[in-house]
Amino acid sequence: MNNQKEIQVGNLTVSNLRPFTLLGGMNVLESRELALEVAATYKEITSKLGIPYIFKASFDKANRSSINSFRGPGLKKGLEILAEIKEVHQVPIISDIHEPAQAKPGAEVIDILQLPAFLCRQTDLVVALAETGKPINVKKAQFLAAHEMGHIINKFKEAGNEEILLCERGSSFGYNNLVVDPLNFGIMKTTGCPVVFDVTHSLQIPGGRSDSAGGRRQAVSELMLAGMSQGIGGLFLESHPNPTEAKCDGPCALPLDQLEAFLKQAKAMDDLVKGFQPLDVK
């Protein structure tokens, strides 16, 4: 494919043809102290391994299963924490935007605005994100086929923004299950957009617990290797020092003390695949 785009994020360049970029961190901002600790660990390991790195955390999780579930510190406090992480660790930031009114203030701190999967067809939100001029990471909804992402890309283009990354995070398969179809990566790469694999959310078991999603973090390495074998632009990952006590999506999170070994495997697979001469099969 010779139509592959490059997306600039600060000093980083994200492309399916380059070594992968890690969009990694934690699911939700539980506290300032924990967020700084997690960011420091990621920054140290990615610097050691030579992996381009963008810190991820959500200031608000607006789509929890229960109204009583922890959502995060909210927009104002959350952006303060993200701004501090950005300054202290000198890393770009990615975070979710759930409402049009959050886009403009969010863009003052956040380098990649993320369009959540369940909201990816909300036109007003797409337009608000596009108008910031920032790169957008579009999560593919669990209910959409890969080729349908073209409609969302066109919405962004019509709104004046073509700085788009496409993120695979699994497809609904019957009730309470997600599957990842490896063919989706190739289909989305035909758009030219960098493709990112959200490995941890792809491990979810929707409705798997009484008041929240379950997960299968024991399979995180196998699923990561399958995704990275497709020659993609980025890996999206959430980790936690103690996943069993995480306030959101703990069953899917990688234990933080296994991050370095995990990323060594991801980098080895990415290096291997991108060293192959592409086959022209028609």
Active-site residue identified among 60, 111, 249, 270: 249
* Annotation says 211 is catalytic: no
Q: Which of 27, 137, 161, 184 is catalytic?
A: 27
Three-class secondary structure assignment of the chain: CCCCCCEEECCEEECCCCCCEEEEEEEECCCHHHHHHHHHHHHHHHHHHCCCEEEEEECCCCCCCCCCCCCCCCHHHHHHHHHHHHHHHCCCEEEECCCHHHHHHHHCCCCEEEECHHHCCCHHHHHHHHCCCCCEEEECCCCCCHHHHHHHHHHHHHCCCCCEEEEECCEECCCCCEECCCHHHHHHHCCCCCEEEECCHHHEECCCCCCCCEECHHHHHHHHHHHHCCCCCEEEEEEECCHHHCCCCHHHCEEHHHHHHHHHHHHHHHHHHHCCCCCCCC
Tokens of 277: 């001469």
Q: Which candidate in 61, 134, 247, 267 is catalytic?
A: 61
8 Å CB contact between 189 and 232: yes
Confirm whether 249 is a catalytic residue: yes
Question: CA-CA distance, 16 to 234, in Å (whole number)?
Answer: 8
Interhelix angle for 259-274 vs 220-228, to 10°? 20
Phi, psi (degrees; rounded to nearest 5) at 238 = -120, 135
What residue type is assigned to position 107 of the chain?
Answer: A
Residues recognised as catalytic: 27, 61, 249
